């Protein structure tokens, strides 16, 4: 397993092959990932702990709140952001292997 520190928490990449990838995302309370989309990468997330706010689209107007045991599929081109507004969040992500396929539209950490 490989740990990747991020300004919002960290990732634990537990699988990476030429056909798929798997990782845990740990998002600290009050933090969020960038508003982003992927050109090729396709992913499905499953919330393990905490309450995840999933923003969909270019603004935070369209949100889904996911509790432990709930999942969401994100196709290429879908604009999204993961937020931990109500405490720490731990989720698992399985995806196609293009881990660097990130097009950031907005980022509070200026990346």
Contact (Cβ atoms closer than 8 angstroms) between residue 74 and residue 23 = no
Q: What is the CATH number for 71?
A: 2.60.120.10
Dump pLDDT digits (tens) for 20-47.
999 999 999 999 999 999 999 999 999 9
Give the residue numbers spanning the domain of 87: 2-99
* Phi, psi (rounded to 5 degrees) for 26: -115, 110
Contact (Cβ atoms closer than 8 angstroms) between residue 81 and residue 36 = yes
Question: What predicted TM-score, i.e. pTM, was given to this entire model?
Answer: 0.94
Total number of domains constituting the chain: 1
pLDDT of 61 > 90? The answer is no
DSSP state of 68: T
Angle formed at CA 64 by CA 77 and CA 15, multiple of 5 degrees: 60
């Amino acid at each position: 397993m490989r740990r990747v520190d991020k300004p919002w928490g960290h990732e634990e990449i537990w699988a990476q092959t030429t056909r798929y990838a798997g990782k845990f995302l740990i998002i600290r309370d009050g933090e969020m990932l960038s508003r982003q989309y992927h050109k090729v990468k396709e992913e499905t997330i499953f919330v393990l702990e905490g309450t995840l706010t999933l923003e969909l689209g270019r603004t935070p107007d369209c949100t889904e709140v996911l509790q432990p045991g709930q999942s969401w599929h994100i196709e290429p081109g879908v604009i999204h952001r993961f937020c931990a507004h109500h405490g720490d969040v731990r989720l698992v992500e399985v995806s196609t292997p293009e881990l660097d396929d990130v097009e950031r539209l907005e980022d509070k950490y200026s990346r």
